[in-house]
A = this chain, B = another copy of it.
Amino acid sequence: MRQRSLRDHNLALVLRQVTSAPRPPSRADIAAATGLTRATVSTIVDELIAGGLVAELRPVSRSGVGRPGTGIVPAGTGPAGLGMEVNVDYLAVCAVDLAGAVRHRELRHLDQRERTPAQTWRALAGLADRTAAAVGALGLVPAGAVMAVPGLIEGGTIRVAPNLGWQGVALPAAADFPALHGLDLGAGNEATLAALGERHATGLDSFLYVSGEIGVGGGIVLDGELFGGSHGWAGEIGHVTIDPQGPPCHCGARGCLEQYAGEEAIRAAAGLSADGDRPVLAGLADGARAGRAPVLAALDRAGTALGVALSGAVNLLDIATVVLGGHYAELIDWLRPALERELSRRVLTAAWSPVEVRPSALGADAAMIGAARAVIQGILDDPARFLATRTP
């Protein structure tokens, strides 16, 4: 670990003040909020402006005493974090700026189960190229990338990604992505990164995030921080047992939540065709809106299973908010009754401390936005490191 100097610390303090303030603060506002002198704040703001991290708004002329304060804002042409997502049936890349706004988004439907990892990396590199070009045209500079993977990562290896059918697949290097020349490429679990995205989008401090697409994943946020467990593998609620004798799961076990509440399981229970042209989600939502009994029954079954698994998680963790992401966010109206019924029956404390269930704020984009957000987080935590990379 690099020793952080006082200057490095103050850079982070001032930058965080600029990105988190409800309205653009002046230098004087920043001095008041941080306890730094106005001279120190001005020096640091100038350095952040020179490094392209913040910008100064045009001073507004106004009547009254004193020089008008000039608002400082995150630079709209500053660094962009790239979030890349490998999912079972699509690839996606987005770019998020220092203020947390999504500035560009690319998505391509591609089934990874029919491809080699190398083919996946190549296709993803194409999306990253287009994203880098698009943000470049907006005046933003890619500052790093994080890749979200629907599996468990250890060191440089994806140990297992059950729904991709991958085991022991090496993560790609930054060099495999021309758009990332010289930048860092990180990787993390998809649902964990999605939880990070939701944390920033909602401001919630503690919640269980559960996302359902082809796989069912989860992430745990405690007191504002991601809870990763001993190796970063925490949150795997998709493989919590619903029925020990239940249907076999890709993971090798039986009766996992995913076999009741994963997309394939819901589709099969609803009697929808597996090879239709329409996305399964649309078929389920349309069928539910039309009141088709098999679709409603399948969603009730999925909601029940989600309720059983989440009740166990709440009993273990004492976290009172559940955020439903992925397809669940769109299906929440039909999942909620059964889910809340199980929570109220099975959570030991539900009678006096009910569990709140709410839809994801970011929907299916949560993982890639969270991945991009992780890059931005790195810059906010240590802007000095980023500034050092900008000077030749």
Residues of chain B within 8 A (CB-CB) of A352 are 154, 159
A218 CB, min distance to chain B CBs, angstroms: 7
- Extra contacts, 8 of them, besides A152-B349, A159-B349, A244-B304 (Cβ < 8 A), are A162-B348, A237-B316, A239-B315, A240-B315, A251-B348, A312-B312, A316-B316, A317-B317
Q: Does A203 contact B (CB under 8 A)?
A: no
Assess the A231–B353 pair: CB atoms within 8 A. yes
A348 & B315 in contact (Cβ 8 Å cutoff) = no
Size of the A side of the interface (Cβ < 8 Å), in residues, is: 49
Interface flag for A107 (CB, 8 Å): no
Give a binary string over A193-234; 1 marks a CB under 8 Å from any B CB, 0 the rest: 000000000000010000000000010100000001111111
Closest to A342 in B: B244
Q: Which one of A218, A231, A233 has the greatest number of beta carbons of chain B within 10 Å?
A: A233
Asked if A46 is at the interface of the complex by the 8 Å CB criterion, the answer is no
Binding site for B on A (CB under 8 A): 152, 154, 159-160, 162, 206, 218, 220, 228-237, 239-244, 251-254, 256, 304, 308-309, 311-313, 315-320, 342, 345-346, 348-349, 351-353
Residues from chain B with Cβ under 8 Å of A315 in the complex = 236-237, 239-240
- A308: which of B220, B232, B244 is its contact (CB, 8 Å)? B244
| A317–B244 touching, CB < 8 Å | no
Neighbour of A345 across the interface among B154, B220, B253, B316, CB < 8 A: B253
In the bound complex, CA of A254 to CA of B241 (Å): 15
**Number of copies of this kind of chain in the complex:** 2
Return 26 A-B CB contacts under 8 Å, by A number: A152-B349, A159-B349, A159-B352, A160-B348, A160-B349, A160-B351, A206-B230, A220-B316, A229-B318, A231-B349, A233-B348, A234-B316, A236-B318, A236-B348, A239-B315, A240-B315, A241-B311, A242-B244, A243-B244, A244-B304, A244-B342, A252-B345, A253-B346, A309-B312, A313-B316, A316-B316
If the complex has contacts A240-B312, A241-B308, are A229 and B348 also in contact, measured as CB distance less than 8 A? no
| A230 touching B316, Cβ below 8 Å | no
Residues in B neighbouring A160, C-beta threshold 8 A: 348-349, 351
Min CB gap A301→B, angstroms: 11
Query: Quick one: which of A244, A311, A315 has the most chain B CB within 10 A?
Result: A315
- Minimum CB–CB distance from A379 to chain B (whole Å) comes to 27
Contacts of A236 in B (CB 8 A): 315-316, 318, 348
Residues of the B chain whose Cβ atoms lie less than 8 Å from the Cβ of A162: 348
